[in-house]
Amino acid sequence: MEGRGDSILNTVERYYKDYGLRARELRNEGRRLTGYVCSFVPLEIITASGCIPFRVRGDIHEPITTGDTLLETIVCPYYRSCFDLSVKQKYDFLSGMVIPHGCDSMVRSFSAWSYSLPFPYFHFVNIPTVCDQSSIEFFSAELNTFKKSLERFVGKSITEEDLAKAIRVHNENRDRVRDLYEFRKTDPPLISGTELTRTLTVGSSLPVDEANGLYDRVSAEIKQRERSPVKKGPRILIDGACLDNVELIKLVEELGGSVVADTICNGARDYFPKTDIGGNPIDALARRYLEKVNCPKTYRANRAGTFEGDIASRFGDTGVYAKEFKVDGSILYLYKYCDPFGFEVPARKAYYKSINVPLLHLEDVYSAGTMGQLRTRIQAFLEMLG
Ligand code: SF4
């Protein structure tokens, strides 16, 4: 990534606004980029194949038009926006697309993606919705199928050593993200939520080693800071699915809150769980993605036997982050038609009550046009937190 001026965060902002800038350069250099959505595509296998994983994102400023002529409108607006930008050729530098069984929207629309886009490679990763030994075995077999399909596409085999190396570098990537989250622990935080989400968004459009270099440069710059970029205010956790446009976070920060933690897909959900090293790499990946990525799509049996025990085990990570980042309140930000998260709202609310963290639940349509309506509700919530 080329820097301009003396601040790496200015460079991040430029790459965030022109998403795919580096990817286009890489494609012109002859590299193959494989698009993906969701937290469940094992990026390590794509990296091990020599392709570059590229997270396809939506744009809340762009009205969904062409995409809606090809896809049902009861699919969630975030995913429709990703599809809309893709069919408008924003991501025409991609060589392929990988979609996992993250939710019904993804399953049902896979054929629309593969029918509407000219990429030579498409793959659907089947993911179990329960988490037991037979599911791990099934998922390992699915990941082997995914590996073989990539091998056919790139024309070379992916060795255990390639996989082990990719697992290592993706784990290093997650360590660096954790380091960036550490800057959120001061009060006020040394890095704003807007800056952090922008940085991670840009990182997910880069080869993993370049993303590691970027995170190092951002960390070095933040360490030099003497003051926080945001005022001291209520410390907020953002809970929800994929939040790849920073407008909501920016709004919270403009209104005096500090976004210091999250559970979002392009945040803690993706980056906090690491893959175990040693042993069979495919089995380790199966375990990481199924057991450690905490998403409502994976049903975890109620071993506690009580409602209280069940919600504590399903949403316990949120409570851990709330404590670790000294959160004053949480905003549960969900998209209309997002069934996996939507079904869980009552249980999630009960969990927040049990840990005494005030909660604001917002349902939105993935559009910059709704930020005005959200402003009043967020302002009232922040005032209540004091
Ligand atoms: S926001 Fe919900 S419905 Fe939309 S892609 Fe993510 S999990 Fe699926």
Give CB contacts under 8 A, 24+ apart, made by 370-377: 371/247, 371/248, 371/251, 374/248, 374/251, 375/251, 375/255
Of the pLDDT bands very low, low, confident and very high (cuts 50, 70, 90), residue 258 is very high
Query: How confident is the model over 290-309, as a mean pLDDT?
Result: 91
Whether residue 4 is predicted with pLDDT greater than 60 in this model: the reply is no
Query: How confident is the model over 9-30, as a mean pLDDT?
Result: 97
Query: How confident is the model over 324-339, as a mean pLDDT?
Result: 97
Which among 206, 203, 181 is positioned nearest to 191, based on CA atoms? 181
Whether residue 3 is predicted with pLDDT greater than 70 in this model: the reply is no
% residues pLDDT > 90 (the chain): 94
Spell out which residues line ligand 1, taking CB within 6 angstroms: 76, 78-79, 102-103, 105, 241-242, 335, 338, 340-341
Domains of the chain: 8-163 (3.40.50.11890)
Question: How many Cβ atoms are within 10 Å of 362's Cβ, its own excluded?
Answer: 17
Query: How confident is the model over 323-331, as a mean pLDDT?
Result: 98
- Average pLDDT in the chain: 96
Predicted pLDDT of residue 386: 81
Place of tokens 């909501």: 248
Q: Which amino acid is at 111?
A: S
Whether residue 31 is predicted with pLDDT greater than 70 in this model: the reply is yes
Whether residue 21 is predicted with pLDDT greater than 60 in this model: the reply is yes
Whether residue 143 is predicted with pLDDT greater than 60 in this model: the reply is yes
Whether residue 2 is predicted with pLDDT greater than 70 in this model: the reply is no
Of the pLDDT bands very low, low, confident and very high (cuts 50, 70, 90), residue 5 is low
Which among 31, 36, 28 is positioned nearest to 154, based on CA atoms? 31
Query: How confident is the model over 91-120, as a mean pLDDT?
Result: 95
Query: How confident is the model over 332-340, as a mean pLDDT?
Result: 95
Structure confidence by residue, pLDDT tens digits, 259-285 = 999 999 999 999 999 999 989 999 999
Distance 263 CA to ligand 1 centre (A): 14
Distance 116 CA to ligand 1 centre (A): 20
Closest Cα to atom 2 of ligand 1: 338
Which among 228, 245, 238, 227 is positioned nearest to 260, based on CA atoms? 238
% residues pLDDT > 70 (the chain): 99
Pick 249 or 302 by higher pLDDT: 249
Predicted pLDDT of residue 71: 92
Query: How confident is the model over 221-242, as a mean pLDDT?
Result: 95
Of the pLDDT bands very low, low, confident and very high (cuts 50, 70, 90), residue 304 is confident
Whether residue 123 is predicted with pLDDT greater than 90 in this model: the reply is yes
Distance 373 CA to ligand 1 centre (A): 22
Which among 50, 30, 31 is positioned nearest to 162, based on CA atoms? 50
Distance 168 CA to ligand 1 centre (A): 29
Of the pLDDT bands very low, low, confident and very high (cuts 50, 70, 90), residue 79 is very high
Of the pLDDT bands very low, low, confident and very high (cuts 50, 70, 90), residue 55 is very high
**Separation between Cα atoms, residue 232 and residue 258, nearest integer Å:** 7
Ligand 1 atom, smallest distance to 78 CA:
4
Tell me phi and psi for residue 249, to 5 degrees: -65, -40
Distance 79 CA to ligand 1 centre (A): 7
Which residues does residue 329 pair with via DSSP β-bridges, in sequence order?
Answer: 236
Q: How far is CA 308 from the centre of its chain?
A: 28
Pick 5 or 260 by higher pLDDT: 260
Ligand 1 atom, smallest distance to 339 CA:
3
Predicted pLDDT of residue 194: 98
Spell out the residues 6+ positions from residue 19 whose beta carbon is closer than 8 angstroms to its own: 57, 201, 202, 205
For a mutational test of ligand 1's pocket, the pick from 76, 99, 294, i.e. the residue with the most ligand atoms closer than 8 A to its C-beta, is: 76
For a mutational test of ligand 1's pocket, the pick from 82, 242, 333, i.e. the residue with the most ligand atoms closer than 8 A to its C-beta, is: 242
Of the pLDDT bands very low, low, confident and very high (cuts 50, 70, 90), residue 175 is very high
Of the pLDDT bands very low, low, confident and very high (cuts 50, 70, 90), residue 6 is confident
Closest Cα to atom 3 of ligand 1: 338
Measure Cα distances from 60 to 11, 149, 238, 239, 371 in Å: 21, 33, 18, 19, 10
Name the most confidently modeled range: 103-112, 293-302, 322-331.
Answer: 322-331
For a mutational test of ligand 1's pocket, the pick from 129, 297, 298, 335, i.e. the residue with the most ligand atoms closer than 8 A to its C-beta, is: 335
**Separation between Cα atoms, residue 247 and residue 256, nearest integer Å:** 14
